[in-house]
Chain A
Amino acid sequence: MIVVEALAKQFAQGHGRRRRVVPAVQAVSFVAADGCITGLLGPNGAGKTTTLRMIAGLLRPDAGRITVAGIDVALQPQAVQARLGVLSDARGLYPRLTARENIVYYGRLHGLPRARAEARATLLAGMLDMAPLLDRRTEGFSQGERMKTALARALVHDPSHIVLDEPTNGLDVLATRGLREALRRLRDDAGKCIIFSSHIMQEVERLCDQVVVVAGGRSVAEGTVPALLARTGLRDFEACFVQLAFGNPTVGNPGGLVD
Chain B
Amino acid sequence: MRGAWQVFTKELRDALRDRRTLLTVLLSSMAVGPLLLVALSMLVADIEASAEARDVYAVGLDAAPTLANYIARQAWAVHPAPPDHEQALVARRFEHPVLVVPPDFERDLAAGITPELLLLSAGANQRAEGSAGSVAALLQGFNQEQATLRLVLRGVPPAALQAVRIQRRDLGDSRARAAQFMRLLPFFVLMAVLYGALHAALDTTAGERERGSLEPLLMTPQPRWALALGKWGAVAAVGMGVAVLACGGFLPGQWLLRSEALSAMFQFGLRELALFLAVLLPLAALLAALLMAVAIRCRSFKEAQASTTVVVLAASLLPLLTSFNGGGEQPWHLWLPALAQITLMQRVLEGGALGPADVLLPVLVAALGTALCLASVVRQLRTAAWR
Interface residues of A (CB under 8 A from B): 53, 56-59, 78-79, 81-82, 84, 86, 88-97, 101, 105-106, 108-111, 150, 153-154
Interface of B is mostly: helix
Q: A92, B213: Cβ atoms under 8 Å?
A: yes
Q: B213, A81: Cβ atoms under 8 Å?
A: no
Closest-by-CB residue of A relative to B18 is: A96
Contact of A92 among B13, B212, B220, B221 (CB under 8 A): B212
Q: What would be 14 A-B contacts, judged by CB atoms less than 8 Å apart? A: A58-B218, A78-B221, A78-B223, A79-B221, A88-B215, A89-B215, A90-B214, A90-B385, A91-B212, A92-B211, A93-B213, A97-B13, A101-B10, A109-B220
- How far is it, in angstroms, between the C-alpha of A96 and the C-alpha of B214 when the chains are bound? 16
Q: B17, A96: Cβ atoms under 8 Å?
A: yes
Interface residues of B (CB under 8 A from A): 2-3, 6-7, 10, 13-14, 17-18, 208, 211-223, 385-386
Q: A94, B213: Cβ atoms under 8 Å?
A: yes
Which residues of B are found within 8 Å of A78, using beta-carbon distances? 221-223
- How far is it, in angstroms, between the C-alpha of A95 and the C-alpha of B213 when the chains are bound? 10
Which residues of A are found within 8 Å of B221, using beta-carbon distances? 78-79, 81-82, 109-111
- How far is it, in angstroms, between the C-alpha of A189 and the C-alpha of B215 when the chains are bound? 29
- How far is it, in angstroms, between the C-alpha of A88 and the C-alpha of B218 when the chains are bound? 11
Q: B216, A150: Cβ atoms under 8 Å?
A: yes
Q: B215, A108: Cβ atoms under 8 Å?
A: no
Q: Would you give the shortest CB distance from A155 to chain B, in whole angstroms?
A: 12
- How far is it, in angstroms, between the C-alpha of A110 and the C-alpha of B219 when the chains are bound? 10
Which residues of B are found within 8 Å of A111, using beta-carbon distances? 2, 221
Q: A153, B216: Cβ atoms under 8 Å?
A: yes
Q: B219, A58: Cβ atoms under 8 Å?
A: yes
Which residues of B are found within 8 Å of A153, using beta-carbon distances? 216
Q: Would you give the shortest CB distance from B135 to chain A, in whole angstroms?
A: 63
Q: A58, B385: Cβ atoms under 8 Å?
A: yes
Q: B386, A58: Cβ atoms under 8 Å?
A: yes
Q: A97, B212: Cβ atoms under 8 Å?
A: no
- How far is it, in angstroms, between the C-alpha of A67 and the C-alpha of B223 when the chains are bound? 20
Q: A86, B14: Cβ atoms under 8 Å?
A: no
- How far is it, in angstroms, between the C-alpha of A81 and the C-alpha of B3 when the chains are bound? 14
- How far is it, in angstroms, between the C-alpha of A53 and the C-alpha of B219 when the chains are bound? 9
Closest-by-CB residue of B relative to A108 is: B6
Known: A92-B213, A96-B14, A97-B13. A106 touches B385 (CB 8 A): no
Contact of A81 among B10, B214, B220 (CB under 8 A): B220
- How far is it, in angstroms, between the C-alpha of A9 and the C-alpha of B208 when the chains are bound? 26
